[in-house]
Structure 1
C-alpha cells in the first residue's frame, strides 16, 4: 500500500506570549465550575444549622430568641459585608488561596462552639468567625469564577453555582436535624466543622484561578487571554468601586431589592421557619425536612432562572420573582400546622423555586451596568442582601418573644416583597451594556 503524505497549510502565527490552547472534548471551565459547586456545598453546611439550634440553645442556656437571633444577624451581616472585599482579595491572591483560608475559618468557628457557655462566645464563634469565612465563600466567589472562566452561558453558570448553597442545605439539613434531635447540637456543630475541613484539600488540588493557568481560553472566547497581574490594594479598590457605584441609581435599586430578598429568605425562612413550625406542634425533624425540600426545588428554580436570564430581560424576571414570593408569604401563617399537609407542600415547592432565583438576573444587571467591576459591585449588593437578612433574623426573634408568634413578620415580609418588585421594574435598561473583560 502506498502511503500518501500531504503538506498541511501553515498555521497562523501566534503572539510570543500566547501559549497554544489545548482543545478538550469538555472545556476545563466546566470542571472549575464543578469544583466551585462542590466547594460552596461544603460551606453551605453551616448555613443549615441556625434554624435548628434556636430551640436547643434556648432550652440549654436559657438565652432569649432575640439573643440567639443577634448572633445569627452578626453572621448574616458579615457574610454580606465580607463578600466585596473577598472578591478583591481573589484578584490579589487568587481564588484558591482565599477559598481554602475561608473554609478553615468556618471549620474553626463551628468547632469552637462546642465549648461555649456564654452568649458572647456564640456571637464570636457563630457570628464573627463563621460570618467572615462564609462571606469569603459567598456569591461574589461564584461571580468571580463565572466572569473569569466564561464568556458564554454566564446566566446558566451563575444559576448553577447559586444553587450549590441549596444543594448543601438539601444534603446537610436532614442529617443535622437528626443529629440535633437524637443526640445533641454539639455533634451537629462538629459535623459542620469536619465538612468544611474536608473540602480544603479538594479546593487546593483542583481549583485554578484563571484559564491561563492551564493554557486554555475562557469558555466561549475565541482567543487566549493572558492572566492579569495581581491587583494590589484590595481594600482601596473595593471601596473605590463602591464610591463610584453609589453615585448611580441602579445600584440603590438593586441593593434595596436584594436587601428585601435576604430578609425574606436567609433572615426569615432559613432562620425562623423551623422554630415557627415547631410552635404549631410540628416536630423539628419534620420542619427541617420541609426546609430541605425547599433546597431541592431551589436548585431547579435557580438553574432555570439562569437559563431564563440568558434569554429574557433581567429586571422583569426580578419583578415577577419578588411579586410571587410576597404573595406566598401572606398565605404562610394559615398553612402552619402540627402535620404536613398538601397546601404546605405546595408552599414549600413554590417558595423553593423562587428562593434564590433572583441571583442570576441581579448578576446580569450588575454586569450590564458595571462591567469589569461587576463582581465587586455584586459583592456590595450581596452585602445589602445580608444586612436585610440580619435585621429580620434579629427582628424575627424579638417579634416571637414579644408577640408569641411570627405572624407579623410573615405579613411584613410579604409587603416588602411587593416593594422589591416595583423597585426592580424601575431599573432602567442600559442602552449600551458595559463590556466585561474575561480576565476580571
Structure 2
C-alpha cells in the first residue's frame, strides 16, 4: 500500500471525528437547562424527567460496544450518520410532546442510542484503525470533543431557552447534529485501506488492524467479545476502575455539585459557572493525558489520576462556601484537568491486552461499566443527601473508591508486546 508524501488522510478523519463529537454533545447540555421549563409547562416531576435522563445515561454506555461492532461490520460512516440522525430526530420530536412517556422515548431511547453510538468506543475505533503513531495524543484530543461540545452549547442552550423558549433550544440541538451529516458522508472513511493507505505511522511490527476483520452478527460479535474478555481478570480490573471513574465524574460531580454547593449557600448561577469551568479545563487535561499516554506507562497515569482525584473529593466538603475561595478555584482547575484524563490510558490498555481487532469493542464494554457506575452514584448520592441532610458522606465515599481504582490500575500487567516508547513516524508523512 502506498503512503502519501504530504497530508495523511488520518488527519482529515480525526478533525471530522472531533466535530462530530462536538455536535453530538450538544444534547448533553439540554437536560439540566430544560428540566425546570418542562416541569413548569407539563407539571412533570423532577423524578420523571430524571428517569428519562437516567435511561439516556444507561443507553449511552450499553450501546457503545454494539456500535463498535456495527462499525466493524458496516463501517464508521454508516453508523455515525444513522446515530446523528437519531439524535436529531429524538431532540426535534420533543417539541410535539404531550406525555411523559414521549420524553423517555425521545430523550432516553432515541438520543441515548444515538449518542451512545458516538461515545468513547467511536474514539477508540477511529484511533485504532487510523493511527499507530500518536495514538494517545489523538485519543486525548478526540475525547475532549465531548467536553468541548457541552462547553460550547451549555451557554447557548441556556440563552436560547431564556429568550426564545425550550422548543427553540431543542430544535437548535437537533440542527447541530443534522448539519454534521454531510461532512461525515463526504469526508469520513471507514479504513485506511479504502484509500490504499496504511494507518498513520504504521510499521512492520505494528501495521494496524486489517480491514473487514469481522463477520456475522454485529450484536453477536459484541457479546462474544464480552464473553471472551470477561474470562480475563484484566477486563474486570479495567471495568471496575472505569466504573469508579464514571461514579466520581458524571454520577457525582456533574449531577450533584450544584445542589451540594447550594447547600452551603452558593448561588446556583455561581455553582453552574464553576461546573462549566471544569469542562473548560477538561479539554486541556485530556489532550495532555493523551500526550503522556504515548510516553508514560498508562498504569502509572491511572494510578496518578485516581489518587489525585480522591484527594480532591476528600477536601471538597471543606472548600464549599457561600462564595468562591482560592481553594474552590484550585479544585475546579484540578478536577477539570483530571475529569476524563483516564480515557487515553484506558483505551491504550484495552488495545494492548486484547488486540487492535477487538480492543475498541472491549473498551466499549469498559465504557458501559463507566456509565453504570455513573448511574449508580447519581442515584446513590441523592439517597445519601436525603437521609443524612448532607452530600459530605457521598464525597468521602467517592474519595475512598478512587483509592480502590488506583490500586486496581497498578495491578494490571502490561502485555509483553506493549511498546514503551512512541512509534517513529515515517519521514515525509504528516
TM-score, structure 1 normalization: 0.87
Match of residue 123 from structure 2 = 142
Q: Distance in 2 between matches of 1:417 and 1:56?
A: 36
Map Cα deviations across residues 173-207 of structure 1 (whole Å, 9 max, x no partner).
Answer: 22223334455443332222121111111211111
Deviation at 1:215, TM superposition (A): 2.8
Deviation at 1:420, TM superposition (A): 1.1
Contact 2:24 2:177 in 1 (8 A): yes
Q: Distance in 2 between matches of 1:185 and 1:277?
A: 26
Q: Distance in 2 between matches of 1:56 and 1:279?
A: 23
Match of residue 22 from structure 1 = 4
Larger Rg: 1
Number of equivalent positions: 415
Which of 15, 26, 35 is equivalent to 2:16? 35
**Is residue 238 from structure 1 mapped to residue 222 from structure 2 by the alignment?**
yes
Match of residue 438 from structure 1 = none
Q: Distance in 2 between matches of 1:184 and 1:402?
A: 36
Q: Distance in 1 between matches of 2:191 and 2:331?
A: 41
**Is residue 198 from structure 1 mapped to residue 140 from structure 2 by the alignment?**
no
- More moved, 361-370 vs 105-114: 105-114
**Is residue 152 from structure 1 mapped to residue 133 from structure 2 by the alignment?**
yes
Q: Distance in 2 between matches of 1:258 and 1:231?
A: 29
Match of residue 158 from structure 2 = 177
Deviation at 1:375, TM superposition (A): 0.6
**Is residue 292 from structure 1 mapped to residue 292 from structure 2 by the alignment?**
no
Match of residue 112 from structure 1 = 93
Map Cα deviations across residues 291-310 of structure 1 (whole Å, 9 max, x no partner).
Answer: 22112211111111111111
Which of 134, 142, 145 is equivalent to 1:164? 145
Match of residue 427 from structure 1 = 412
- More moved, 226-235 vs 136-145: 226-235
Structure 1 SS opposite 2:4: coil
Match of residue 61 from structure 2 = 80
Deviation at 1:133, TM superposition (A): 0.5
Match of residue 328 from structure 1 = 312
Contact 1:50 1:271 in 2 (8 A): no
Which of 287, 290, 297 is equivalent to 1:303? 287
Q: Distance in 2 between matches of 1:415 and 1:103?
A: 38
Structure 2 SS opposite 1:49: helix
Q: Distance in 2 between matches of 1:252 and 1:134?
A: 25
Contact 2:73 2:212 in 1 (8 A): no
Unmatched tracts of structure 2, length 5 or more: 420-430
**Is residue 251 from structure 1 mapped to residue 235 from structure 2 by the alignment?**
yes
- More moved, 240-249 vs 303-312: 303-312
Q: Distance in 1 between matches of 2:393 and 2:40?
A: 24
Q: Distance in 2 between matches of 1:273 and 1:55?
A: 18
Q: Distance in 2 between matches of 1:315 and 1:152?
A: 19
CA gap of 1:424–1:300, structure 2 versus 1, over 3 A, is same
Map Cα deviations across residues 391-419 of structure 1 (whole Å, 9 max, x no partner).
Answer: 22233444455555533332322221121
Map Cα deviations across residues 53-95 of structure 1 (whole Å, 9 max, x no partner).
Answer: 4444455555444443332221111111101110010011110
Q: Distance in 2 between matches of 1:60 and 1:333?
A: 35
Which of 338, 356, 360 is equivalent to 2:344? 360
CA gap of 1:183–1:275, structure 2 versus 1, over 3 A, is farther
- More moved, 355-364 vs 55-64: 55-64
**Is residue 349 from structure 1 mapped to residue 333 from structure 2 by the alignment?**
yes
Contact 1:72 1:390 in 2 (8 A): no
Deviation at 1:322, TM superposition (A): 0.9
Map Cα deviations across residues 152-173 of structure 1 (whole Å, 9 max, x no partner).
Answer: 1111111111111111122112
Q: Distance in 1 between matches of 2:302 and 2:282?
A: 15
Unmatched tracts of structure 1, length 5 or more: 1-17, 435-440
Q: Distance in 2 between matches of 1:213 and 1:394?
A: 45
TM-score, structure 2 normalization: 0.89
Match of residue 220 from structure 1 = 201
Deviation at 1:353, TM superposition (A): 0.3
Q: Distance in 2 between matches of 1:334 and 1:112?
A: 44
Contact 2:60 2:115 in 1 (8 A): yes
Deviation at 1:426, TM superposition (A): 1.7
Contact 1:65 1:398 in 2 (8 A): no
Structure 1 SS opposite 2:252: helix
CA gap of 1:59–1:421, structure 2 versus 1, over 3 A, is farther
